[in-house]
């Protein structure tokens, strides 16, 4: 693989940088670069700005309103956006349900849902995990019974990220309880404003409200919101999970956080010298940086396969494992760098207790413990690799 950018790609990078400099709101940029949370409206505002520029779907083909960028340009855009402090684009619409609707949805669904994802009008949530059905997703119990031209949905989903903001949720539901686990599942799109849908917050250790329980009690969903064929949802779920695991790699964000780690380590001191010059810390930092470089190359290979209309395969599991390990390692080194200033695990407790850059570190560290679990735990990903790549 030739890792040198062509003149055209360098010109594109300059175009992206100029756009980010001119269009990214300063307050939002500052929040991201300093590790603070971005609000719902700031996230939507950035999606609208990109949409107006024609860049609302960086990973989408032109036929569905996307940019049609090749894998290299997608990677350049992601890396430059992260480095500049742009908010993370919501993956649930752009990188999960969007590609599923493009591949398996009908023309009416594509016309109805895709433009509103691009414009930021619809915020999507992912309704997969249930109590007792996380890594063993095929054991899910939420039922959808066909009643004429509608489905009647009953059940519970849990750990649903940002469901409190969502307009729609895509769900895996059991439509044939007599079939084998994977064979009786369907993929359903549910309007969150439908009577019978209840969102209950799950408060995290750092005091934040990021995840939720979502309950369905006799929720009526039009049959036209079924994606693809009934009882074929497991096929669509596997397609989506490949995209999710590719997205979890987070190369651009990790490169930005690595740069922030270096800035922090240059300001913190040990034995009168910058921590960045401490041999033990420098070795750990170098190892993370080497791992991140290798992850970036692997990510480009997977994106290239995706551009050829091949769904991400078991190699996406490699990205998920290593990407989340790197995110956790960087946050661990940040905690190490600031020492006792990292003790308060709630952001409000940490403010004013030390350097400004230390305030969000403990909350971020705790939050990132989840990354090796969601999207299929890393242990499950290792099993997938062993079975499909190594034949074990």
Which residues, 6+ apart, have CB-to-CB distance to 141 below 8 Å? 130, 132, 133, 155, 174
User: Would you say 324 and 378 are in contact if contact means Cβ atoms under 8 Å apart?
Assistant: yes
| Cβ(176)–Cβ(232) below 8 Å | no
Q: Which of 55, 86, 88, 91 is nearest to 73 (CA)?
A: 55
Hey, how many other C-beta atoms are within 10 angstroms of the C-beta on 291?
16
Dihedral pair phi/psi, residue 14, rounded to 5°:
-65, -35
User: Among this protein's residues, is 257 annotated catalytic?
Assistant: no
Pairing type for strands 168-174 and 124-127 reads parallel
Return the number of other C-beta atoms located less than 10 Å from residue 254's C-beta.
Answer: 23
Q: Which of 244, 257, 268, 315 is an active site residue?
A: 244
Q: How far apart are the first and last CA of the chain?
A: 29
DSSP for 344-385 reads --SHHHHTTSS-GGGTTHHHHHHHGGGGGTTTS-HHHHHHHH
Using CA atoms, how far residue 15 sits from 252, 255, 267, 356, in Å, is 18, 20, 33, 32
Task: Name the residues annotated as catalytic.
Answer: 244
């Amino acid at each position: 693989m030739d890792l040198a950018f062509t003149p055209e790609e360098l010109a594109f990078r300059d175009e992206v940088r100029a756009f980010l400099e001119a269009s990214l709101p300063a307050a939002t940029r500052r929040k991201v670069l300093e590790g603070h949370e971005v609000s719902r409206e700031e996230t939507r505002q950035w999606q609208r700005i990109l949409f107006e520029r024609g860049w609302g779907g960086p990973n989408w083909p032109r036929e569905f309103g996307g940019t049609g960028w090749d894998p290299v340009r997608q990677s350049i855009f992601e890396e430059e956006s992260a480095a500049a402090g742009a908010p993370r684009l919501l993956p649930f619409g752009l990188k999960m349900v969007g590609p599923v609707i493009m591949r398996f949805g009908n023309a009416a669904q594509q016309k109805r849902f895709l433009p509103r994802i691009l414009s930021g009008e619809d915020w999507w949530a992912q309704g997969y995990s249930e109590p007792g059905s996380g890594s063993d997703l095929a054991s899910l119990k939420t039922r959808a019974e066909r009643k004429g031209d509608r489905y009647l949905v009953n059940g519970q989903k849990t750990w649903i990220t940002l469901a409190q903001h969502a307009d729609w949720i895509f769900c895996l539901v059991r439509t044939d309880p007599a079939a084998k686990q994977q064979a009786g599942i369907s993929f359903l799109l549910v309007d969150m404003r439908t009577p019978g849908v209840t969102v209950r917050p799950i408060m995290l250790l750092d005091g934040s409200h990021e995840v939720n329980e979502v309950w369905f009690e006799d929720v009526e969903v039009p049959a036209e919101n079924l994606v693809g064929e009934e009882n074929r949802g497991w096929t669509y779920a596997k397609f989506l999970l490949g995209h999710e695991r590719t997205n979890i790699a987070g190369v651009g964000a990790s490169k930005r956080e690595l740069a922030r780690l270096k800035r922090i380590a240059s300001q913190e001191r040990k034995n009168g010298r910058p921590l960045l010059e401490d041999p033990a810390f420098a070795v750990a930092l170098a190892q993370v940086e080497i791992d991140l470089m290798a992850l970036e190359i692997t990510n480009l290979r997977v994106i290239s396969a995706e551009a050829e209309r091949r769904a991400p395969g078991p190699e996406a599991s490699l990205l998920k494992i290593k990407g989340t390990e790197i995110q956790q390692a960087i946050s661990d080194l940040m905690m190490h760098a600031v020492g006792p200033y990292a003790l308060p695990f709630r952001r409000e407790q940490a403010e004013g207790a030390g350097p400004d850059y230390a305030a969000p570190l403990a909350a971020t560290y705790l939050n990132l413990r989840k990354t090796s679990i969601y999207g299929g735990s890393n242990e499950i990903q290792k099993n997938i690799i062993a079975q499909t790549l190594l034949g074990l």
